Structure 1
């Protein structure tokens, strides 16, 4: 970018002003204009002071506060990983879960250290950090360590121990939330302080520049040419800096004092450029972390899927080889193994689906939302009929065109309907209502099942979150279905709304933008009659868990 200096033949530079060059203002102006020198010196002092103050604020924010806040979030992540490992060990009894727990335990002190060091000497923050660490120590000593030392696997579940662990972890999360909010508050204050100092510096430079321009305008032409022009150039540079233009530098020309101001302003711009470079690097690192996370999920899922396929194949070979020759106890053990292999496959599929939904580009085409909803309802009807659940669809009866990725949108509605069936009681209906209004189409899926506790609605949609009543009733699930739905609908610029009452049911409403051109109506397939319930329905989740315990 060409600056005024490039046009005039003078090279703009940043950093410390040159020791020589230019005459003092006292030699250019008459004694009556001596005040002009004071004005320019004040401008230079404000610029330098503003640069130093902004640099100090940025150093505090990026060098100490942000790393400490990031380490504090890593502390919660380590404890969450430990909690997940403890839960995995409690369910499976596998040594791999113990290894994950010990790895997270080893990482924890390294993340706690910078948080404590930053809080040292700060009474308010040190109190919050101490409370958080005490809560973490209490959870580890009173629940995590005893649970890891105890036997794990099916049949070792104790409700009292589980409730104690949940209570301690909730106290830990509350303590971390308070610490997190304090870090956030301090980050906002530090950012606001840096912005205030920077804007105050710019404002002072602009005001003093205008005053100087006014005084010079009243002097002789020589002053107009040798003093006013550089100040106007500085003013233009400040305005361009305020508009966040890149590679802007002030022309270092004119009297010595004006040169100092330009050099100070250039130093300020250099500081801004370095700050932008830091921000760009952080964003690049975050993108790299996202890519590494996706690669990790994909690789781990692949590595798990291969042995699971082998296990499943051997199970089928065993079943065929010992058909009609296997004791009832061994048949139950074989069936329990099949169920758990199927559950693990479902979890892997959900992880891969979520990863793809978060990162893949959405190929949009015009589809009939009415048909997508009816197809998803048809897919779940047979499973629902085994428990006497009737799925009904109420729609306007004409095509509802939306721009969507058909496969992803079908997966979203299939997840919602499957959850509605899964959390319904036997014999309860599931109602699907499709309406259109104000250029939007809404699909409401309503069940009359166990519902969601009011205090847990805000956490709905976080990874691996499952409602406490679902866990208590031992209803199988991965905790990723709702997250997948939200991610897919967000990709389609839509909204998902959850309304639930514990014990009364849940309503999930999905809103999408309706397109102006209607798609041609496709021949509607005949509605499947509600099939007669299977005289030998699948086991309920409670019976399933009981069967696993007997097999063990």
Structure 2
């Protein structure tokens, strides 16, 4: 039953677009927060790894340089070894570079800068008041002065104290930077997780709405389409977006048109059935009514031939022979019409048939006619049986027609070849019966008309070869009834090859 359409239904675009907009906005915000979080986290990590940590390492190197200087001064004071002076000069050359790295980083941090400057001042006092004077003085145990040594130790302890404060602040800054980078990363992950959950909720809500407003009407429409195949009276509900309702309305109109067409088709079928019955009756009645006078005419002709056998003039003999020939032609035409009518309309009774003896019998039936014209018949039927489901008399008539045509259209002293083989394919086995003659052939322009009722090739008419033009039509009809097909290849003046293909019987006979 068709449900009335509500006023102004929304289109699919108006139903889907808001959900897509919400999802797009949510994805945009999610991407923006993710990018911002990554940028901030990266900046914090870069500041930690490229600025603070190298400055902290450089600050430790400052202490190491001062320690190396203090060791070199002590070695010079104790031994006067010139190598100690070389160590002193190398450490002194390294010290400014490390101090510069520390001071460049601390330039933006007032507290750290103050401690760094205190550390530098303590180092310079130690160098100016103790280290430099001591290395300029002679070295060796005899130059050792306890007062000078104690003053140097006191100044270096001040250096150590200043460095300890600076290192402590550097360590604090490192921990703060690490914590800040970790917090930014966690905040980014949390924000992305919250927005993802929100997006999941939005998608779920949009999915339920789309299912209710778009998907379910489409599924219902699909179900109605399948139902219509079984129940022509089924109709689609006018539900869902405007496009779905339009499709449902068009489907209902199509179903109504099909119902009307089905009724017309049924009426035409009944009329065709009546016409077919009338045609069959007409053919049968006309054939019967024609056979009776033809039989009578044939009898009278034979009586005339016997009574005036020795007294007829050549002219009368020609007239009598022409009459006999035309009576035989009419009788053949009537027989072919009846055979074609039976092939087209009779219910085929199928049985398991071996094609080998059936084809061999057809060859035997035409052998007398062939030998009378010096035509040799070559057979290649094989020894193994080839079983098909067939109406034996009808299929035998088809083989006989093909062989009769091959002999009839062959030249005297010619040759006709008959072969039977089986072809295997994915669709099953197929029996192939091929008949090849070397006769007059068929003009190329007339090949497509083969099989038409009463059609005869022009060269057959020119050569006055008798025939009704129904033989090949009978063959095609019989083979079609058996689920096979007929293929014809011909070349005028070189002969014709007719191939009949039939499905081989499978399973038990």
Equivalent runs, 1:498-517 vs 2, <5 Å: 498-516=488-506
Equivalent runs, 1:118-517 vs 2, <5 Å: 236=220, 239-241=223-225, 243-245=227-229, 246-249=232-235, 269-438=255-424, 439-516=429-506
C-alpha displacement of 1:360: 1.0
C-alpha displacement of 1:250: 5.6
2:341 alignment partner, SS class: helix
User: How many Å separate the matches in 2 of 1:381 and 1:372?
Assistant: 14
Change (3 A) 1:409 1:268: closer
4+ residue runs of structure 1 moved beyond 6 angstroms?
Answer: 231-235, 258-265
Question: Which of structures 1 and 2 has the larger relative contact order (alpha carbons within 8 angstroms, sep 6+)?
Answer: 1
TM-score relative to the length of structure 1? 0.50
2:268 alignment partner, SS class: helix
Change (3 A) 1:334 1:511: same
Change (3 A) 1:275 1:440: closer
Q: Over residues 237-268 of structure 1, what are the superposed CA-to-partner deviations in whole Å (9 max), with x where a residue is unaligned?
A: 67414653411146799xxxx99999997666
1:398 alignment partner, SS class: coil
User: How many Å separate the matches in 2 of 1:508 and 1:421?
Assistant: 13
User: How many Å separate the matches in 2 of 1:503 and 1:455?
Assistant: 14
User: How many Å separate the matches in 2 of 1:325 and 1:406?
Assistant: 49
Q: Conserved in 2, the CA contact under 8 Å of 1:497 and 1:510?
A: yes
What is the aligned counterpart of 2:8 among 32, 35, 38? Answer: 38
Larger Rg: 2
> Which one has the bigger helix percentage?
2
Q: Give the root-mean-square deviation of aligned CA atoms.
A: 3.7
Q: Conserved in 2, the CA contact under 8 Å of 1:234 and 1:250?
A: no
Give ranges in structure 2 of 5+ residues lacking alignment. Answer: 13-204
Change (3 A) 1:453 1:275: same
1:358 alignment partner, SS class: helix
User: How many Å separate the matches in 1 of 2:361 and 2:417?
Assistant: 15
TM-score relative to the length of structure 2? 0.54
C-alpha displacement of 1:502: 0.8
1:498 alignment partner, SS class: strand
C-alpha displacement of 1:495: 1.9
C-alpha displacement of 1:324: 2.6
Aligned length: 309
Q: Conserved in 2, the CA contact under 8 Å of 1:237 and 1:248?
A: no
2:265 alignment partner, SS class: helix
